[in-house]
Amino acid sequence: MRLKTIRMEALSNDEIDFLSVKQAKERRTFYFGMKWMLVVCLVMPLLVATIIHFEDKPVLNFKEAYCYAQITMALMFLFIMMATYARKLLFINLDVKHQQKIIESVEIIQKKFMPQNQSFHFYIKSQIKMSIEVTQDDFLKFEEGDEINIEYSKYSKEYFGYF
């Protein structure tokens, strides 16, 4: 059994550009989702308070119902916003800020040709990636049990390639 070697290096300019584009895309998606969540958070308390107000025997008056619904929606908005940000955008921001990548030596477990899309894949022993797509030349050059190096960003684990 071989020891897994992992080392860190600085990102190349192409990798920084790739992460910056991904960061901009994720940021746009995040802001778009948060705008719609904010609209829901503004409309929902009014809807809830109006429904409660028109009941036969309302438990709360309009102001109380609106206040409780508004507090509930604000807490939901904050929770969803933090969870969504922490899911992806936080890690991409950290990668762009620190500009570090990890190079990991991995063992090829299995080689497979996918006839559906005419592609070649290595199944590898890594916690980050289960398989990677490779060129036909590399597919023929490497054998099961050989070691290759894969590169990925430190925080978001965004895969860059192999060598």
Where in the chain are the domains? 12-98, 100-162
pLDDT recorded at residue 63: 85
pLDDT given at position 46? 87
Compute the distance between CA of residue 51 and CA of residue 41 in angstroms, rounded to an integer: 16
158 φψ region: left (φ > 0), alpha (ψ -120 to 50), beta (else): beta
Enumerate residue ranges in the chain where pLDDT < 50. none
Give the pLDDT confidence score for residue 51 in this predicted structure. 84
Full-model pTM: 0.74
Backbone angles phi, psi at 126, to 5 degrees: -150, 150
pLDDT at residue 160, rounded to an integer? 93
The CA dihedral of 18, 21, 22, 26, to the nearest 10 degrees, is 170
The model's pLDDT over 121-138, given as tens digits with 9 standing for 90+, comes to 999 988 888 999 999 999
